[in-house]
Amino acid sequence: MTQSVNLTLEDNIAVIEIANPPVNALSHAVRSGLQDAFRGIAENDAIKAIVVYGAGRTFVAGADIREFGQPPKEPFLPELINEIESCTRPVIASVHGTVLGGGLELALGAHYRIAAPKTKLGLPEVSLGLLPGAGGTQRLPRLVPVTKAIDMITSGKPVSANEALELGLIDQISGEDDMRAAGLAYAKALVKQGAGPRPVSGLPCNTPEDGLFDKARATLAKKARGQLASQKCIDAIEGAVNLPFAEGLAQERALFRALMDSDQRAALIHAFFSERQVGKLPEIKDVEPRILENVGIIGGGTMGSGIATSALLAGLTVTLIERDAEAVAKAEGTVSKNLAGAVKRGKLSQEKFDAIMAGHFKAGSDYDALAEADLVIEAVFESMDVKKEVFGKLDKICKPGAVLASNTSYLDVDEIAEITSRPADVIGLHFFSPAHVMRLLEIVVGAKTAPDVVATGFALAKRLGKIGVRAGVCDGFIGNRILATYRKAIDGAVLAGASPFDVDRALVDFGLAMGPFAVSDLAGLDIGYMTRQRLAATRDPREVYAEFSDKLCEDGHHGRKTGRGFYDYSGEQPVPNDDILGYISEERAAKGIESRSLSDQEIIDRYMAAMVNEAALVVEEGIAQRPLDVDVTLLNGYGFPRWRGGPMQYADTVGVDKILNDIKRFAEEDDFLWQPAPLLEKLAAEGKTFASLNA
């Protein structure tokens, strides 16, 4: 036995506690401990039943992901679960918390399952690029309808204890949260009834409706475009229906192993750990964040009302300031509509909605209302003059110790801070639109920002259910700065001969949720236009500046909001706006560019090389602390495909030297845009990866 598995005996019932904090993952020590425990029990005829439960906040949340990628060590989980299932006395899994992946598979290997009322049960392996590899795809459809098994396994979403009971996935919901006691009581009742082992593998598999697997494959081809694991999940579940248990299990194992070796698995696990690593910074280790209850927001437009919604949903009190009564009413309307949407989707109760509208949310135009705010987030127009005026007022009104934040997308947070008498309290909190939906929060740390203000930024992200990424001050911080560069690269691809529609299609095929030109239409073409205008005076004359987007904007086409941009939105579905091709050919002629055809691969290579190169600069300059901060930013704010792990992970996968060679190749056409970042050259020369800089 190991310390992470403890066996005790009570009234001839063996009680096995799994104690491997924080989430009782099935590490080698836990697997060995469980095997030892069950082997001991096999030799003790006095034992009438066995209860397995988890110590601490949860039962088992899965296999130990940290062991993935290392040589597997015996006992392997599928065999261990088979061994548990073959126990000659009833085995009861008494579960609580998050019963996930290998944890649910372990529970499925038990003969009876009892769960605490708030338990969540699921098989989330697909979100790590895997499939349940310890019998989950074989046992689940023997208990629940095949269509539900497909849904659970391919979505990775957990079900509640109530739903699990209705489905037959568990046998009982316990009346108490002490799962040792609940398991023991259930075991005693079973022994009293004379109940014996009830292995799920011995049950017939449920019968699917005709055509179910083909339908599921077709749906997933669209919904989980490009992803290997979801299709393989279907293959494995089909095996449960068509093959004897042992053969189905062997097939599941083979499919699992193949996925374990895939780049997608490596990328998704990189994303999982990076998102947990991103807030761990020496700068805020052991630093207490400031109190955060009353939030002030200035500006109730697109961003301000979204930020207010997000804060209110997290239970914070919000005071929103707008310019005049009309703007106040508009902002109130937007926030209330957003919250009503949350009620509709079951994310907020009607009672909480009523309480928010009755007292937790106030809007007005008097800045004095911010005197007691713990944190004020400014989301007014993107103009340095307007922002300075606002921060000047805040400096006079806000209480000492209040955190003063700007949601600026690009502007210099240090310059804003200097207008106040308290630059240590000033920080950038860059939300993404829609702010109550998007998970990313760039926490922009100025030269004088105090560590507890940085810690407060991260505490806010956590409270709002967002992922905070630390960024340094520069034009556009991490995300928008990289975006500006890869936009130049694809504008260059268009000038060279691709159409914006070719670019969008190639990049959607690569895995982006939307093509970059379609995204510009959605954001509003005027936004990028204003940024380019702001930077026009400082633009390097060597830059090959693409003008077609500006032309479109100057002709009054701002994208979706005007019904026309790169696409035409007047019909049911957006269609390409072919007028843009006219602007582009005129520009090519004026610049003396002879149009050529670009393959989809070249479009992708240009896009990725520009992204990785700028990201390397961002890391080198300390704007991002580590490559993983860039990956988390692009994954959560810019629609980069999660199964590719982010641009730095992508570069490591295809090879840093390949990216460098691409840059050199493209530099033959434009040696101003395509200048290799010194860090990229260094890594390529040393044969190192970006991941090597994450430690």
**How far, rounded to the nearest angstrom, does the alpha carbon of residue 299 sit from its chain's CA centroid?**
28
Q: Which of 433, 595, 689, 694 is in the footprint of ligand NAI by CB under 6 A?
A: 433
Determine, following the binding rule CB under 6 A, whether residue 382 of this chain makes contact with ligand NAI. Answer: yes
**Residue 517 — φ and ψ, nearest 5°?**
-75, -35
Give the active site residue among 125, 238, 602, 614.
Answer: 125
Name residues contacting ligand NAI, limited to 435-494 (CB under 6 A). none
Q: Which of 63, 297, 331, 608 is in the footprint of ligand 3HC by CB under 6 A?
A: 63
Determine, following the binding rule CB under 6 A, whether residue 373 of this chain makes contact with ligand NAI. Answer: no
3-class secondary structure, 21: coil
- CA 358 – CA 186 distance, rounded (Å): 46
- CA 110 – CA 86 distance, rounded (Å): 9
- CA 576 – CA 424 distance, rounded (Å): 49
Please choose which of ligand NAI, ligand 3HC, none residue 497 contacts, taking the beta carbon within 5 to 8 angstroms, the exact cut-off set by kind. none
Determine, following the binding rule CB under 6 A, whether residue 110 of this chain makes contact with ligand 3HC. Answer: no
Q: Which of 108, 327, 328, 552 is in the footprint of ligand NAI by CB under 6 A?
A: 327
Name residues contacting ligand 3HC, limited to 140-199 (CB under 6 A). none
Site of tokens 């090519």:
588
Please choose which of ligand 3HC, ligand NAI, none residue 408 contacts, taking the beta carbon within 5 to 8 angstroms, the exact cut-off set by kind. ligand NAI
Determine, following the binding rule CB under 6 A, whether residue 64 of this chain makes contact with ligand 3HC. Answer: yes
Residue nearer to ligand NAI on the CB measure, 256 or 432: 432
Kindly give, in sequence order, each residue whose CB lies less than 8 Å from that of residue 546, ignoring residues fewer than 6 positions away. Answer: 488, 491, 492, 494, 495, 587
Determine, following the binding rule CB under 6 A, whether residue 397 of this chain makes contact with ligand 3HC. Answer: no
Angle at 561 between CA 556 and CA 566, to 5 degrees: 65
Q: Closest approach of Cβ 168 to ligand 3HC, in Å?
A: 21
- Helices within 283-419 (DSSP H only): 302-313, 325-344, 350-355, 384-397, 413-418
- Look up 389 and say whether it is catalytic: no
CA dihedral angle for residue 239, residue 243, residue 244, residue 245, rounded to 10 degrees: 0
Determine, following the binding rule CB under 6 A, whether residue 608 of this chain makes contact with ligand 3HC. Answer: no
Cis peptide before 75 (omega within 30 of 0): yes
Determine, following the binding rule CB under 6 A, whether residue 98 of this chain makes contact with ligand 3HC. Answer: yes
Site of tokens 């579960």:
95
Per the CB < 8 A criterion, the answer to whether 646 and 467 are in contact is no
3-class secondary structure, 307: helix
Determine, following the binding rule CB under 6 A, whether residue 321 of this chain makes contact with ligand NAI. Answer: yes
Residue nearer to ligand NAI on the CB measure, 104 or 460: 460
Stretch that binds ligand 3HC, among 3-11, 22-30, 545-553, 653-661 (CB under 6 A): 22-30
**Residue 546 — φ and ψ, nearest 5°?**
-85, 130
- What stretches of 467-507 adopt beta strand conformation (E)? 467-472
Name residues contacting ligand 3HC, limited to 285-314 (CB under 6 A). none
Per the CB < 8 A criterion, the answer to whether 648 and 631 are in contact is yes
Q: Closest approach of Cβ 97 to ligand 3HC, in Å?
A: 8
Stretch that binds ligand NAI, among 428-436, 610-618, 622-630, 636-644 (CB under 6 A): 428-436
Stretch that binds ligand NAI, among 132-140, 187-195, 300-308, 507-515 (CB under 6 A): 300-308
- State both tokens at 287: 């630093």
Per the CB < 8 A criterion, the answer to whether 89 and 197 are in contact is yes
Determine, following the binding rule CB under 6 A, whether residue 301 of this chain makes contact with ligand NAI. Answer: yes
Q: Write the DSSP assignment of 579-601 as a string of letters.
A: HHHHHHHHHHHHHTPPP----HH
Q: Closest approach of Cβ 90 to ligand 3HC, in Å?
A: 24
Sign of the torsion angle spanned by Cα atoms 153, 155, 160, 163: negative
Determine, following the binding rule CB under 6 A, whether residue 459 of this chain makes contact with ligand 3HC. Answer: no
Q: Which of 85, 125, 442, 629 is in the footprint of ligand 3HC by CB under 6 A?
A: 125
Determine, following the binding rule CB under 6 A, whether residue 37 of this chain makes contact with ligand 3HC. Answer: no
Determine, following the binding rule CB under 6 A, whether residue 77 of this chain makes contact with ligand 3HC. Answer: yes
- Look up 105 and say whether it is catalytic: yes
Per the CB < 8 A criterion, the answer to whether 486 and 595 are in contact is no
- State both tokens at 168: 């037959």
Determine, following the binding rule CB under 6 A, whether residue 300 of this chain makes contact with ligand NAI. Answer: yes
Please choose which of ligand NAI, ligand 3HC, none residue 425 contacts, taking the beta carbon within 5 to 8 angstroms, the exact cut-off set by kind. none
Ordered strands of the 91-95 beta sheet: 5-10, 13-18, 49-54, 91-95, 112-115, 172-173
Residue nearer to ligand NAI on the CB measure, 322 or 629: 322
Strand partners, 8: 15
Determine, following the binding rule CB under 6 A, whether residue 319 of this chain makes contact with ligand NAI. Answer: no
Per the CB < 8 A criterion, the answer to whether 549 and 520 are in contact is yes
Please choose which of ligand NAI, ligand 3HC, none residue 433 contacts, taking the beta carbon within 5 to 8 angstroms, the exact cut-off set by kind. ligand NAI
Q: Which of 105, 238, 322, 504 is in the footprint of ligand NAI by CB under 6 A?
A: 322
Burial class (CB in 10 A: 0-12, 13-18, 19+), 138: buried
The 570-599 site mask, x for binding ligand NAI (CB under 6 A), equals ------------------------------
Q: Closest approach of Cβ 296 to ligand NAI, in Å?
A: 11
Determine, following the binding rule CB under 6 A, whether residue 276 of this chain makes contact with ligand 3HC. Answer: yes
Determine, following the binding rule CB under 6 A, whether residue 119 of this chain makes contact with ligand 3HC. Answer: no
Which contiguous run of DSSP H or E holds residue 435? none
- CA 68 – CA 58 distance, rounded (Å): 21
**Residue 318 — φ and ψ, nearest 5°?**
-125, 130
Determine, following the binding rule CB under 6 A, whether residue 124 of this chain makes contact with ligand 3HC. Answer: yes
Determine, following the binding rule CB under 6 A, whether residue 156 of this chain makes contact with ligand NAI. Answer: no
Per the CB < 8 A criterion, the answer to whether 256 and 137 are in contact is no
- Binding residues for ligand 3HC, rule: CB under 6 A, are 22-23, 25, 61-66, 77, 98, 100-102, 105, 124-125, 128, 130, 132-134, 136, 276
- Binding residues for ligand NAI, rule: CB under 6 A, are 298-304, 321-323, 327, 379-382, 386, 390, 407-409, 430-433, 523
- Please give the positions annotated as active site: 105, 125
